Structure 1
Amino acid sequence: MISALLVIDVQSGLFDGDPRPDDADAVIARLNALIARARDAGAPVIFVRHERPGTALEPGAPGWAFQAQLDVHDDDLIVGKTSPDAFLRTALEPLLVSLNVEQLVIGGYASDFCVDTTTRRAAALGYPVVLAADAHTTHDKPHLTAARIREHHNATLSDIVSFGVPIRAVDSAQIQFDRVERAAARGSQR
């Protein structure tokens, strides 16, 4: 089964402020390990980046850039988005179709917004999802800590069966990618 890794919104403007997201450095390290395993298997790695004019996430602004510790290569696939849903008004779905992707592995930021929404939308579109349970994060909220939010989303998302495809929350160290024997598409998708 061809799996693609989606790394959502690991950007300087979201990770480098004060306070930083919960467990930020460890989450980035886990994402980098997933990225390396996906690349080694020839699986597509797609970076999703939020874009919002007039904010720190305005295209070209320092905050829009990927967080410096994230292992992004110049020839990686990149999809820009303007909502919590990485599929809404983006090139993501046509890209997945062109790559023959059958399953998504998802991690990044924010557990309670973009990771949650994109996971649900992927499942609604028929993609089984492996949520990297320890490789997504958010900030503390007045009602709940970020760690509890991540725990909640891991439990809630993996409990949804009505989409007809599984959503499984799995520790990142246990996620493997099947070897893909084909030339992967390269370049930026917008």
Structure 2
Amino acid sequence: MNDVQPKTADDLFRFLDDLGIEHSTKKHEPVFTVAESVALRDEIPGGHTKNLFVKDKKDNYFLLTVEEHATVDLKTVHQVIGAASKVSFGKPEKLMEYLGVIPGAVTALGAINDTDGNVKVIIDEELMAFDVINCHPLSNDATTSIGSKDLLRFMEATGHEPLVLKVTA
């Protein structure tokens, strides 16, 4: 376990600014589920994300970022993402170690904390149809809006090759 402190939202925003990526963030009450966050939809346009932190039996970790209402078949998604076996959810300790977030705050933007490239990032192609994608900025008490193409640029800047695949049912 490394002793590196996870980056903060301010670190994330500086990183985006340094890349010249436009972003806007709206603070709100903490939300832990898609159902709780739906109440914010009128205020925040664009595609809203659901994130699944999963692993295969060989301890390969994956972050699946999909549109919030999409369904992912965990029995078959391994065939699409290149996992060694069926996947199961990763433990909260690994989520914190690799992405620097707690359950309920999982976000594609957590890739900023995965400096060793332990997690393979998969973005659902249906989510990429949105011009703007909304993610938690490393905590679940705010929503950050970023352009879909800029999300891919962000991933590359963090050392991740984002795979855009059809992972939803």
TM surpasses 0.5:
no
Question: What TM-score do you get using the length of structure 1 for normalisation?
Answer: 0.29
Q: TM-score, normalised by structure 2?
A: 0.31
- Give the structure with the larger strand fraction: 2
